Every structure is written in C-alpha cells, then in structure tokens.
Chains A and B, each alone.
Chain A
Amino acid sequence: MPANIIQPNSTPLQRVDVDTVTLDIIENAMANARNEMDAVLIRTAMSPGIREQGDAFPMIANHDGKMVVGQFGSFITGFTESYGGTIEEGDIFLTNDPYMCDGAVSHLPDWLVLVPIFKDGRLINWSAMFGHMSDVGGKVPGSLPTDAQTIFEEGIRIPPVKIYKKGELNEDVLDLILHNVRMPRWNKSDFNAIVASCRTAAKRCIELANRFGDDVFTSALSMMLERNYIAMREIIRNVVPEEKRSFEDYICDDGAGLGPYTIRCTMWREGDKAIFDFEGTDPQAPSSVNFYLNEEMFKMFFGAFTINLFDPSILFNDGFYDLVEVNIPQGSILKPNFPAALSCRTHLLGRIFDVMGGLLGQGTPDAMSGAGFSDSPHFMYSGYDENNEWFQLFQIGFGGIPGRPVGDGPDGHSLWPGFTNVPNEFVEAYFPLRIETYETITDSGGAGLHRGGNGIRVGYRLLADGEISIHDDRWLTYPWGVNGGDPGQRSRKELIRANGERQMLPSKCDHVKVQAGDLVVFDTWGGGGWGNPLKREPQAVASDVRKGLVSVDGAKRYGVVLDATGTVDADATSALRAVMANSRDDSALFSRGGTIEEIKARCLEETGLPAPAMPVWKSGAGGRA
C-alpha cells in the first residue's frame, strides 16, 4: 500500500509557463543547493570515511520524487510506494536495509536519510542523502564481513523509520541503533551532519519557491527533467545500436573459494528505448560480494557515463528514465534472494562501470577507455592502542585511471566523484601505525599510446597488536586494455612480519591477526592502456622513466630503448619497434591478458595464491542458458 502523504493544503501545484532565463536561474540555484549539501556534510561529519573521503551522496527531488539534482538517481518513488504509514511535515526517515528500499542503498553501512519538504501545507520537494558509516555492528569491525552468509551477520538492519516525527527526534530508536555499533560517536555525528545537510536543501527549496512562486518553481523542475529526456534521447540514438551487443567482465572471487563470477550484459535499442539485459550473469554468491543492483540506479550510471562524453555541463537528473529498460535475473549476483549477504558489494558496484565502458565502447572504439580503477579496495585495522582504547581504521585505496581518448590515465587516482585519501599525517596522529610508503607502482599501468595510470603502494607499519581485513579484487583477472593497449598490472597484498617472514594475503580476508612491527604492503592495480604502445612518442616514455613512473625495462613494452643516461637510443628503438610490430596481433578490441582458463592455470605460480573454483547455478535457477 502506498504511503499516505498528509497535505493540509489541497490546492494542486499547477504547471505554468516558465521563461528560459528563469528556468536557467532555478537550475543554477538547485546546483548550488546540492553543492551546499556536500559542504555542510563534510564540515560537520566526524568519521574519516565521510569527512575526508567524501563517501556520501546528496540528492534533491521534485514533489513527485524525481531526482532533479544528485548522482545516483531517485529512490523516493520506490519508497513512497512501499512505505505503509503517513508522511507529514517535520517527518524525517532513516533506513539502511537494501531489501526494504529496493536497493536504493546497497549495503547496511550506507545510512539513507529522506526528508519530505513541505511549504504552506503542500509537499514541494524531497531531499535525501546517504553516507557510509564506519561501523554498523555485526560480526567484524567495519561491518564488512567477507564470509557472511546472510545479511543478519552484517550489522543492525534499520527498516524505514520516522527518526523525526513532526519535528521531534525519536531518541529511543536512535539510542537503540547506536547501542549496536562499535563507534557510536561517529555514527551519531555523521547522522546529525546528514540531517543538517538535507535540511539545508529544504531551506533552499522553500526560499526558491518563495522567490518565484510555488507553481513557477515546481514547473521549472519539471522542465529540467524534460531537458534531460530530450538530451538523452539524442544520446541514446547515437550510442545504442539496434543490433544486440554483449560484453562480459568479472569479479575475481567471492572470498569463499569460488570465482571468477561473470557479469554479462547485452544492449540494444528498440525505437528510442535502450534495453540492457543481464541474462547470462552468474548466480548469487554464498558470501557477501553480492550487489543488489537497483534498475533505476543502473539507468543513472548509464546516463552519467554517456552524458560526460557529450555535454558535461548539463545538470544531470533522472528525467530520461522512461527511455531505458533494465532486466536483471532474480537470484543472480546482481539481484540475490533475501537474506543473501551484501556488505562487500563494492567490487561489483565498481565493475559495473567497466561493463558499461566495454559495452558502449564496442560501437565507438575511439571514444572508449581501458578498464578503470573499478573498485574501492578497503583496508581495515582494529584493536586496542597503548592506552588500551579501542581503535578502528577504515581506509579506501585508489589506483590507476585507464588510458583514455583524451590522454594518459592519472596515476593513483579515484574513479569515484569527490573521493580523496585521508591524509597520512591524520592517520598517524590518531591511529597506532606509520605509513612508510605512499607511492604509485612503477610499470603497473597498462602500456599504450595513452598509458594506463599506475596503481598505488601503501606500506602500513603497524604499531599495535590487532586484526586487519582486506577487501580488494582484480588480483586474478586483468584490468583490460583497449585498441591495442596492454592490460594493467593486477593487485597484490603482502604481510611482512616483524621477524621477516613473508606471507601473501588473499584479496579478500578478515580476522588476520597482526602484531606490532608487522608491515602490510597494500598494492592496488593499474589502469588498462589505450592504443598501440609502439606509437607512443619515445620522449614521453623517457620522461615517464625520469619521473620513476616507468622503468628502463618497462620502457621496452613501448619498444623504447634507453641508454645509461636515460636518453632514447633512436636506432635501437626503431629496430625493437620493427620486431615487435611484426609479432603484434591488432585484431582484438580488448586485451585481457589471456582466457580465464589460461589465467587460472598460471594463478598459483604468478600470484602465490590458489585459483578459485568456478561458480555454477543450482539446477532450475534462472540465468545461464
């Protein structure tokens, strides 16, 4: 039953004409309001994940719940259709359960706050934001247990609740929730920050409605949605062909011994409608790497990804949703059955963007980039410090942006908007560790006319006994190169004990006991290369070598020979390039570093870790032909 929205003022909002200048002014003001939401949050939040890394996402929707500004698309309609209670002025909703909000948030650490915005007794807007909490309870510190089998192990589940009812905070519920988490101070202030941020948006919407009139304001928002519809219709006609086209990528394993899991997507166009079908995607995992992918959110990914190629200045919204259809098989790793565990969905969330790039790129290879840094690898470290106080560190890693049509991929950067590292000096001041190495990994970017960016090596010297967790991927399959570019180097993790013993750590692991003096070497992966590396300007390669980004040996992947002083040896370079050109096969669009079978066969030797076993659908379940 849909929610009952109580609006004492029953006069309906009228659609009126709005001149384009007023429309542009309102568009600009809405963009500012959204930026202000970010600013309020980052200034007042406390957990390093939100305040330094910016792991939070704001949105403002119109009175129908359609996202006018934001990033991940609207989930308001889904919420109002499934919420059984009343919605009144002063109410604020909180939830974190993916199964209760149709995947609007995709794991329990993301807390979603929804604020209906009323003016003169009428609902005129919604503001919302979700942010990643450092801990929500459950079986491991950080609440991202790789080995969880159900969502019940992953922390406290909050169904949509009125955390504020007619303006009154429901303190009992908040206390109950905070009682179940390991860092209640952080959750509480981050929650306050998110609410303050949503309220700021509410204030701005009401001011705009006062300034222009409710009807002009709400009509302008509808026109902004229509602008996107028209623009995206053009784009879809341009980039989505009528014949079917498919692409596959993988996550390497599930942390429970199975892998790689295939994500398969087929795309085609019928009239103005783009269709994405995930038939052929592997079944859900027994561990927590499942990603409950909301279809609407996928539409948003598609739109955001393509619009950047055509008009990056447009204020992007979800007005084009009717132009896209998405089918995801129930029971697959992208739509698991309740109560499947979901906490470690970050690998699949990232990989979706590689799938999108490969899928769209086949039609326009020149506009395609290599495989990117499609993940947010985590490093977690917890225990008791020298004052016997509990500490809990959560770090996100960054890696190589792929080679792109516009140029080389930046080394050691983020694929996610607004993310930054937590300053190492901050980490060292508040946690018992020292970061001894913080640099990009020479030669880890895929060779190409445009080089893939290098991954990052972070060396954590641990100064207290405790436990660590690692969540990463692309240790087995390669970040692929395109148009003749080579794949990037894969990730790896090594633990070097205080006594000198060395141990390769799996890409996904929890509860690894560590002692003071141990060193964790956390290597992320490089971006795929773009274009034939033999065509790269030799001086550009020599410059990379001087900067330490490529080695003298690594320069040979470009067919470039350097002498002892680092100067290009022109004759030797031409000779080597001629030999290499002869043995090149330039027919393939994608360079994946071998078939899955070949990669698995070399796995133990190359990575020091055993190859995972192939996942299979249980008989009768959908998906694979």
Chain B
Amino acid sequence: MFNKKPLCRSLAALSLGVAAGSTFAGPTLDAIKQRGTLVCGVHTGLTGFSAPDKSGKYAGIDVDYCKALAAAILGSPDKVKYVPLTAQQRFTALQSGEIDLLSRNTTWNSKRDTTMGSVFPGVWFYDGQAFVINSKKNPKVKKLADLNKASICVETGTTTERNMADYARANKLTFKPVVFEGQEATEKAFQSGRCDAYTTDSSGIAAMLVNLPNKGDYTVLPEIISKEPLAPMLRRNDQEFFAIARWMIYALQQAEESGVTQANVLRMKAESKDPAVQRLTGATAEVGKGLGLDAEWAVRALQAVGNYGESYERNIKPLGLVRGMNALWNKGGLMYPMPLD
C-alpha cells in the first residue's frame, strides 16, 4: 500500500488547523510504542553531537543515543524522528510533549531537575566551559585573567552567559558580552574579530576548531570555569521510560568495559562466558524484562551504534578531543556504569 500518513497529516493539519503529529494517551513509553517512532529533540547543528550531513541525515553522539533507544524499544535505529531545537525551544518542547526525549547537550543542574518538570537519567558527556582566542591577534593572552575588559561572544539560551558573569565577579574581572542567537551566528562573529574571545563548552569549541582551515591561529585557554554534565532530559511522568533511558547509558558503557562492540556483539552473545557480557546481551539474565523490553534490547542498540567508546571514537574523536573525564572509570575517567544484574 501507499504510505498516506504524512500527506493526510499535513492536509488535515493545514486545511483544518487541527492537531497534526501524534496524539497519545498515558505515559511516554506507551506513546512511543503506539506511534512506532521515538521523537527526539536534538541540536540544530553541532558537529560531533548532532548535525545533519549533506543528505540531511542527523549524526553525532547525541543522535546515537536516540538511535540506541529506538533500536531497543522499537527494534530499529531508523524509527526516530528528529526535531531540531534552539536553546530556548528545547525545554518547552519537552514539557509540552512535542518530543519524547531531549538529547541535546543539555547541562544537568538542580533548577532544571526540580522546577521544570523534568529528570535526567544520567550523564552522557562530561564537559566544561572554556574560552578560545585568536592567538595571532592577541598573542599576549595566555590565561583567562588576561582577558580582562575583552569582548566575548556568547550564545544566548545557555548556562554559559551566567557562568561567565559569575566567574568575572568572583575574580574581579570585567568581560563585555556580545550575545547572539544561535551558535552559527556566535561563531561567525568571533571569527570575524567582533570579539576577542568565544566561550562555550570545550566540546563546542573543539567542534568549531576542527572545521577551521586556520585552526593553528586559535588557542583554547587552560581554565575550565564550570562543570557541564551534559545529559539527556525526560519528562518526569514516566518511570518505565526513565529506567530504559538510564540503563541504556549504562549498557552502552558496560559494553565498552566488557569489550563488546558493534562488530562482535552477536559472537560475544553466543560465545562469551563472562557473566557481565551474558547479562548485557540477554543470554542469561533478564535485564530487558525488568525494563519491560525483551532480552535482546541491548544487542540491538549495540548493533545500531556500537558501545559508548565506539560512538565517542566515531563522533567526538574527530574533533580532536581526548577522552579525559569521559573515559571509563577504570581508565581514569568518570564514566562508571552501574552493574547490570
């Protein structure tokens, strides 16, 4: 049969002005299953996290997380609808139910956890706010204090604006912020020389630099002025979905710890005698059942995007960022998957 759905939807929507998109009753997970797609809010374009490639397909570590969830819940990593969101749109998009989950390098803090009706299942990427300067134009700037009285480009709608002001007050410095809407405009203003420095999460700076032809001209200052635990964000009304989202993070990290990869996951499932691997791949224990899924949930996710380390290698490594805090706990990092049992 023809696929009539999109057309009918847009027609109904456009001609009558009634609700298009999806209608669901009850908690998020039911809706996802009923609809057959996971609606994932992502960044409009941040290399390494989520950005459309030339053919319009989204790719990045935040996108991988959506794909893994879709593979686990719906059986295919392609059953995701991506909704690109700006920094201001993201929270109400989640609150209103327009998206099922926000996977858009969002900092986990107490305000967002308590007053916005949302929860964070776990940290997907540890980051921190840094400053980058053009060392050719400002060869004397070696540390943040040297930037006293400088103009600094910053994107609106992020925690960065406030972090910067806090740091300046604490250290008796003056920064002149120039605030832009959207990261593209902010980066462009910085590169044009409108500002002396640009501040954002260090991953964002790396993502900008990797694309620059003259990246040798730029220097990232040593200070990291904030903690930015970037995490997926969910509505608070669905414990089942929350559990899946949380254990997806741990499963992908556990896979890395146990050496299970995209390529060897099926063989490991059949052959491995390691109990951790057996539980992960659903060979023995019933982690999947506890989550309301089948035993193969993690296998499908791993087949779709590989383990956490693979996703990192594929998306973040090209930015020139080392694993650092994002390495596993036994490799000197902070990623500590809770045991699957």
Whether A associates with B in a native complex is: no
Q: What residues of chain A have their CB less than 8 Å away from a CB belonging to chain B? A: none
Q: What residues of chain B have their CB less than 8 Å away from a CB belonging to chain A? A: none
